[in-house]
A = this chain, B = another copy of it.
Amino acid sequence: MKLGEKIPLLDHGYIQYIEHYGSDERIIEAARMSTGKGFLGWGPTHAPNCGYVGMPDDPQRSCTCGGKTTPGDEKLLRFLYENKHATPFEMAGIVIEVQAPIFVFREWHRHRTQSYNEMSARYTPLPDVNYVPTIDRLLVNSKTDKQAGTLKGSEELTEEGAAAFQEFVRIQYASAEVGYQHALKIGVPKELARVHLPVGRYSRMRASANLRNWMAFMTLRSAEAAQWEIRQYSLTLGSEIIHPLFPRTWELFQGSL
């Protein structure tokens, strides 16, 4: 997928790259402030116009032009990452746009090192777009996180039960919308006409953070204990946006999960 396109998530959500700053190289440059050197180069050798045999991070990789192989800066990047020298990773960042249900935003906004601008139901009527979990999703009995799972003593969810819940949710959403539109029409202020709207309704925001804090976000929200819905956003952010922009940092992050 091309960077900048809306990447669909859940039934009506998306995540979209807006812009970024920094790079794996810039992170090295910032870290080298401590010793006064700059970015030296990746790979086992940095001779220009020289072919390589082997993958970029293969320690056995050799240079086909016979030049002296020198240690590459990927070693420093790894050292920074593994020893939690986190500040150089603040010298890069990403701005994204996200459409997600309100209950996902509720979890997201606990990350206090990000910057947010969100659609506001005080200022504009929220579009009638709402989240309905799929049958498959409903049937996943969260074994990885008992706390978030089913109520103690409840029955085992059947496919019919899941379908009935979907149907109930759709009706509840529909009646909420009818009442919302009517309230707005008869003059209930926007900020009050919304009190009965569900936390499954979609909202939209811009979010900005530096790379260190996006990784902190992903550490929590890509984890198995995270709610499946926000996990989709977190995993997609990683693989579709952070991976192409910061390939070496991404590799280190994945190795640490």
Contact = CB atoms under 8 A, between A and B. Distances in A.
A132 to B, nearest CB: 8
Contacts of A133: 192, 195
A103 interface: yes
A interface: dominant SS: mixed
Interface in A156-201: 156-158, 161-162, 164-165, 168-169, 172-173, 175-176, 179, 182-200
Interface string A25-56: 01001110111100000000000000000000
The oligomer's copy count stands at 4
Interface stretch (A59-67, A88-96, A241-249): A88-96
A164 B119 CA distance: 28
B147 A117 contact: no
Interface string A74-110: 0000000000000110110101000001110110011
Given A26-B95, A33-B118, A33-B205, 17 more contacts: A18-B26, A33-B117, A33-B206, A34-B117, A34-B119, A87-B110, A88-B117, A91-B206, A91-B208, A122-B148, A154-B186, A164-B186, A169-B196, A172-B175, A191-B227, A194-B199, A197-B199
